[in-house]
Chains A and B, each alone.
Chain A
Amino acid sequence: MIPAPFTYQRAGSADEALSLAAAAGEDAKFLAGGHSLLPLMKLRFAVPEVLIDIGRLRELSYIRDEGDHIAVGALTRHHDLEHSGLLTRELPLLALAAGRVGDPQVRHRGTIGGSLAHGDPASDLPAVALALDATLVARGPSGSRQIPAGEFFLGLFETALEPGELLTEIRIPKPPVPGWSFQKFTKRAIDWAIVGVAVQGQRVALVNMASAPMRAAAVEEALAGGAGPEEAAAHAAEGTNPVSDINAGAAYREHLARVLVARALTESAART
């Protein structure tokens, strides 16, 4: 219920956040909305010694139309993504998915950057980032770099971010094909996805079908070969490695993946 003791530091700028992180070393974590990290700390599954609060860095909260892409600041809250007119027009997949994260209270605090950096395969936005072909911009002690979403999610709670590196922006190209769909299957509305599917055009990404979000490559291949939604969706479980846990068994997850991909592709096609 109560986190183990730690030292709280507040960063007044991204630069300060980086230098605080460099000084604190491996035992430090950035604190954005805190709704991925603090729950772990309250159960003492995570025991960082230093928390660097970046939640006040307003300069990292934005949604901008940059012409050929949308730039989303890493500290943009799910609530703001959900209610953004710009996103609803240009990236409705992201707007809708953000509106399905957690509950309203969580969405008032949680950020896209925090969600992506956390690297939970059961989270919705990592798969959305894959479907949208996003590029993640990270700043570290040695400067800035751009990481394609496909190279960002490495495994369970493991991302390409180096220690002391801060996610600053998510760049999402305006989709060439307008069709999209987001299918999130849960038992209760508040639950994490048992299985989720994010579709943008012919890109299909899966939530919770492996230790990291993944593209449904076999489905995409079938689509590229001219298959319709049902036919392509039959491949949805190929290459996946879903867990069996108290929420669902692996075989059921594979079945759900096929069903949800079919529905997502059908809905996406209707929007094209």
Chain B
Amino acid sequence: MSIMGTRVLRTEDPRLLTGGGVYVDDLRLPELEQAVFATFVRSPVAHALITGIDASAALEQPGVVTVLTAADQPAGDGSPFAEPLLAADRVRYVGEPVALVLTEDRYQGEDAAELVMVEYEPLAPVTGVDAALTDEVLLFPASESNTVQTGEAGNSDDASFAGCDVVLERTTVNQRLAPVPLEGRAAAASLEDGRLTFWCSTQNAQLARGAIAGTLGLDPAAVRVIAPDVGGGFGAKVAVDRDCLCIAFAARHAGRAVRWAETRSENLVGMTHGRAQRQTYKIGGTRDGRILAYHLDVVQDCGGYPRIAVLLASLTQLMAPGVYDIPNAGAAFRAVVTNTTPVGAYRGAGRPEATAAIERAVSEFAAEIGMDPAEVRRRNLVTPDKFPFTTPTGATYDTGEYVAALDKVLAAADYAGLRAEQARRRERGDPVQLGVGLSCYVEVTAIDGADGETGRLVVHEDGSATVYTGSSAHGQGHHTAWAMLVQDELGIPMDRVTVIHGDTDAIPDAIGTFGSRSLQLGGSAVYQAAAEVRDKARRLAAGMIEASEADLELDPERGTWQVRGDPATGLSWAEIAQHAGPDGLSADVRFTASAPTFPFGTHLAVVEVDVETGKATLVRHVTVDDAGKIVNPVLAEGQRHGGIAQGAAQALFEEVRYDADGNPLTSTLADYAAITATELPSFELVASETPTTINPLGVKGIGEAGTIGSTPAVQNAVIDAVSHLGVRHIEMPASPERVWAAISEARAGR
């Protein structure tokens, strides 16, 4: 019986549970025994010229080895929006690193950093995209504008809306979020005999190596990057950022090993933020529920430096039309810099923003025409016969069963029963009202499939196997899944399969994990490598048994090769590996995909709103998240749960806020309302598998789907709970005060 699709517990767990994972700050290696501790001096102002740095008082503190500033670091590339390692002549966000203090002991760092005197000449802060768009104050004087890039796609123009019975337009904010992985950023560097070893809490050791080598002017072969256990990434630990690069150059500059682990307060201003789009959607259709036109205009806040925010906005643009078959759909974006923390990928990275906009728009359209929001969706979903479906914005969806996903969720939630309960409470004027919110979504995974992923499989002479994967799990359970693949393909039991990742010496060439790419690319690479190993083994076995290859079969249950029907001829993997010659029994594969894949689903959120206080509580959340074939339901469900929680958090609780001067107001976990167990129910997951043909496993990515689907469902549910009071819209997060204000305004408007 195949292990594929069965519930397999994680091989990663025992070590993590009994001894704890080994994250960067846990490393106790000989190379780091004499490491100095790094503490950053960060800008307390959002926008200023640096007119002087005086580290003399700090240098006199006990245990201070040195204080690095921009004067010590390698030169930058001089491009208009270039981002230095340590700020040189100006700072562009609160939290920007300005100096780096190295101390012998950990506790000495903050003491010394407090004494580094930096003189700032404040500049007018640009907070908010409106201010940025005026270009009155330029963050980068060498550029001509705060607008870094613009884009547009699709076929929606003013004429598209002309023939619509109903046209709605709304400006809304997909608010700035903090990723908050439980482990912040951390790195350690040791330079010995001309070779730099760099440990980093990263999702991409190989990409990190390239960045370090490039920044420091080193031959990549002289750099080894190791990702130990990583305590969550969510897209915010892709490769290395400037703070981590500072640690690398500090090791070279100081001639000592250096280690760093940021505090949470640093993390909330220093790690990239997510989302941060100002959106204007326009939706037009007929009174009987047909959507004819949709346009989404996005202003992407990049923060103080553009990094990858342009990519995020372009993904929003690509996915703007969502699951709907809209004749005229389009989007446009402008990406602007502001004096805030740089914006980067955060679980969904551009796609939650697209989904949130259109799902809000569709629900608002449904309310406007007085039609049930499920029915409006049903009437406009791309139907199964249309796949592969190319949208006006240029995405080609591979496979989908959007109507079936909607129906499954409605049935599992007892939609009619919920609406009946809602009606009863409305009639009674209950102080606690019920809201039902829907979201139908499609998302793009492995958009960089052409870059592929590597996988090397070695069968050893004792019959065990090692997988060297280019993927880089930080909680997703790849070691379990890849071992399952090997067992299924080769019959080598999982407990004899070792999986290695995240070490550039062992795996020099790889992309790593982000964008929900790893199973379809990294898993397919393992699958393909296993297939190649199987072919090699067949050839070897044929020679050893003196039979023809065609007569040989692999018994996957026993893991032996034999002449068909003659078990006495059986050869073990160990025996074959021993005869494999000097190159051993192995295969080294880069699997590339011809196209991305498009998982999809439906989320239904049930919310109770206390109409007196405005407090909304999520009481049920029912989903289909269809990511093609499921290799291990345990892992898939875990990804869905985590995604749903983060998505609900955006709808109800979380928001990074700045004051008018660019000072962060949510820079500790006491102020940033990361969601906890008490605010969430248990989730109701419905199974659905619509395979893709893009890769041999038939799988799509699931890591971000839950987040993408859940946010608009929860937001729609809150609004739905009080729509009978006249509320049409509530911004995220739908805090109690916002809900109360919406109710009050609606009542006053009557």
Contact = CB atoms under 8 A, between A and B. Distances in A.
Q: Do chains A and B touch in the complex (CB under 8 A)?
A: yes
Interface stretch (A67-75, A171-179, A246-254): A246-254
Interface in A25-53: 43-44
Contacts of B578: none
Nearest to A4: B111
Interface stretch (A13-21, A162-170, A184-192, A204-212): A184-192
Which of B111, B264, B613, B666 is packed against the most chain A CB atoms within 10 Å?
A: B613
B736 interface: yes
Which of A190, A194, A248 is packed against the most chain B CB atoms within 10 Å?
A: A190
Interface string B2-18: 00000000000000000
A196 to B, nearest CB: 13
Contact of A43 (B265, B615, B740): B265
A56 B740 CA distance: 47
A269 interface: no
Contacts of A44: 110, 114
B657 A187 contact: no
Contact of B678 (A4, A43, A189): A189
A246 B657 CA distance: 8
A252 to B, nearest CB: 4
B430 to A, nearest CB: 15
Given A2-B110, A5-B111, A252-B740, A185 B665 contact: no
Nearest to B736: A187
B286 interface: no
Interface in B662-688: 665-666, 668, 671, 673, 675-676, 678-679
B673 A255 contact: no
Contacts of A249: 737
Interface of A is mostly: loop
| Residues of B in contact with A, size category | 20 to 34
Contacts of B673: 187-188, 191
A243 interface: no
Given A188-B676, A191-B673, A1 B263 contact: yes
A256 interface: yes
A259 interface: yes
Contacts of B109: 2
Interface string B98-112: 000000001101110
Interface string B702-743: 000000000000000000000000000000000111001100
B613 A259 contact: yes
B679 A256 contact: no
B737 A188 contact: no
Interface of B is mostly: loop
Contact of A256 (B110, B111, B264, B613): B613
Contact of B613 (A185, A188, A191): A185
A185 B110 CA distance: 36
B737 A2 contact: no
B612 interface: yes
B668 A189 contact: no
A94 B114 CA distance: 42
A191 B652 CA distance: 14
A188 B679 contact: yes
| Residues of A in contact with B, size category | 20 to 34
Interface in B588-638: 612-613, 615
A188 B678 contact: yes
Contacts of A4: 111
A187 B651 CA distance: 13
Contacts of B668: 43
A23 B670 CA distance: 35
B653 A188 contact: yes
B612 A187 contact: no
A259 B110 CA distance: 45
Contacts of A185: 613, 615, 736
Contact of B665 (A1, A187, A246, A252): A246
Nearest to B744: A255
A252 B676 CA distance: 24
Contacts of A2: 106-107, 109-110
B479 to A, nearest CB: 32
Nearest to B668: A43
A1 B265 CA distance: 8
A188 B675 contact: yes
B726 to A, nearest CB: 18
Contacts of A194: 736
A1 B110 contact: yes
A188 B111 CA distance: 34
Nearest to A1: B263
Interface string A223-251: 00000000000000000000000101100
A142 to B, nearest CB: 37
Interface string B224-246: 00000000000000000000000
A189 B673 CA distance: 11
Nearest to B110: A2
A46 to B, nearest CB: 15
A17 B180 CA distance: 41
A256 B665 CA distance: 23
B666 A189 contact: no
A43 B740 CA distance: 34
A188 B649 CA distance: 11
Interface string A135-164: 000000000000000000000000000000
Contacts of A190: 676, 678
Contacts of B679: 188-189
A4 B111 CA distance: 7
Interface string B107-124: 101110010000000000
B638 to A, nearest CB: 23
Contact of A187 (B263, B735, B740): B735
Nearest to B263: A1
A249 B741 CA distance: 11
A4 B114 CA distance: 10
A1 B736 CA distance: 31
A256 B741 CA distance: 12
Contact of B666 (A191, A246, A259): A246
Closest 9 CB pairs of A and B: A189-B678, A1-B263, A252-B737, A259-B612, A246-B665, A2-B110, A2-B107, A248-B737, A188-B679
Given A5-B111, A246-B666, 5 more contacts: A1-B263, A1-B264, A188-B673, A246-B671, A255-B740
5 contacts: A2-B107, A4-B111, A188-B653, A246-B666, A248-B737
Interface of B: 106-107, 109-111, 114, 263-265, 612-613, 615, 653, 657, 665-666, 668, 671, 673, 675-676, 678-679, 735-737, 740-741
